[in-house]
Amino acid sequence: MNEVPLGFLELRGVTKQFGEFTALDDVNLSISEGEFFTLVGPSGSGKTTLIRILVGMDSPTSGDIALRGDVINDVPANRRPTCMVFQNLALFPHKTVGQNVEFAMKIAGVAASTRRERALELLELLRLPADFYSKRINQCSGGERQRIALARALAFDPEILFFDEPLSALDFRLRKTLEKELKDIHRETGKTFVYITHSLEEAMVMSDRIGILNHGKLIQIGSPDDIYNRPLNKFVAQFMGEVNTLAVDKAGTGKVKDSTTGSMYEITESGQEFESGFMIIRPEVMKIGNAADALPNRIQGVLFNDYALGSRIQYQVRSADGENHWLVERLQDDPFSGNAGEPVTIGWRAEDSILVPS
């Protein structure tokens, strides 16, 4: 996404306390108009609390929320130009699809003919046939209900759409389809989407930028590529997927030393200050067998197991000293020929080492 001026939706030092418990701790965030921004974090990190504050269902203990520069802390949810797609969708089961989509327009006093025309436009946008207009909600599948909930939210014509883990209850195949459709709809409508999820994969597929929350603090904000390849700390690196992690100390120019075994590894100098912390190596950058022989960083180990992951194969290798278990991933059409229990060499390039502080 091209850089655009920030300041459309801002959180300025937002803190939320429930008694002595701090759910959000001095959160500062600026979301651009038209952006697809995703908040990711483990359970209890503060995601739902933050989105409830943004949508107007709760108020911060301190700090401000501003929309186009105007503080909206005290503006109730029904007076904000926003709409929420809930995890449970909150559709009316006794109403038709058309009645659900038109609900906000009916409350606003829009004429019936205009409501119907707009509802049919939205069904088409959400790839639902026109005859769904008269269908009952309880006759619709889970994926169809997701689309109907989004159509209802868009019918309100909000400036910002908030999503509270709307795909979490769906099966894998349908979830992958809807991830792509949500990204397409975001592009087609130009609306600002603010999405919360615990799923790394959802965030990586759909988002312009990602914010990582942990214990109420916003740890890192960046593009999917930034978050994945340049994590700020061990938590972010591990949260963004399976990684190989070693505690290391700086050992001169272009080298680090394993804090446990004393083994030396080559790194690429990044210019950042680093004395001790962790070296992160993602499984997909590692080589195994003959492909590792010419690399500067090599480890001797024993092949413990392999796992089929669709288009990839993941190998688990136990280092010869028994101190570490390593993960190596290769594409299915580029397999390594080896058997469990056999000795094997694994390795990686200096530039594939990611250093993060303790």
Complete DSSP assignment for 203-270: HHHH-SEEEEEETTEEEEEE-HHHHHHS-SSHHHHHHTS--EEEEEEE-STTEEEETTT--EEE----
Provide the CATH number for the domain formed by 9-234 in this structure.
3.40.50.300
Position 225 pLDDT exceeds 60: yes
pTM given for the model:
0.87
* Residue 201, pLDDT score: 82
Q: How do residues 229-273 score in pLDDT, each as one tens digit? A: 889 999 999 888 889 999 999 998 899 999 988 999 999 876 567
- The sheet carrying 343-348 orders its strands as 287-288, 343-348, 297-309, 312-319, 325-331
Q: How do residues 45-91 score in pLDDT, each as one tens digit? A: 999 999 999 999 999 999 999 999 999 999 999 899 999 888 777 88
Maximum pairwise Cα distance, the chain: 75
Distances (CA, A) of 318 to 16, 124, 289, 321: 45, 53, 14, 8
Give me the architecture of the 242-357 domain, per CATH: Beta Barrel (2.40)
What value does the mean pLDDT of the chain take? 90
Q: Is the Cα dihedral 120, 124, 126, 128 positive or negative?
A: positive
Tell the residue number behind the tokens 């997701």, with chain if given. Answer: 146
CB–CB of 340/304 below 8 Å? yes
CB–CB of 355/278 below 8 Å? yes
| Cα Rg, the chain, nearest whole Å | 24
Phi, psi of 144 (to 5 degrees): -65, -40
CB–CB of 234/64 below 8 Å? no
Q: How do residues 97-146 score in pLDDT, each as one tens digit? A: 999 999 988 988 899 999 999 999 999 988 899 999 999 998 898 888 88
The whole-number average pLDDT for the span 286-298 is 93
| Domain-wise residue ranges, the chain | 9-234, 242-357
Q: How do residues 78-110 score in pLDDT, each as one tens digit? A: 899 999 888 777 888 889 999 999 998 898 889
Q: Is 272 helix (H, G, I), strand (E, B) or coil?
A: coil
Distance CA 285, CA 219 (A): 25
In this structure, which amino acid lies at residue 141? Answer: S
* Residue 129, pLDDT score: 93
Burial class (CB in 10 A: 0-12, 13-18, 19+), 121: middle
Instruction: Round to the nearest angstrom and report the end-to-end CA distance of the chain.
Output: 31
Centroid of chain to Cα 271:
28
Tell the residue number behind the tokens 């803190």, with chain if given. Answer: 15
**Closest by Cα among 152, 126, 153, 134 to 96:** 134
In the chain, where does DSSP find H-type helix? Answer: 47-55, 97-107, 112-125, 142-155, 172-189, 200-206, 224-229, 234-239
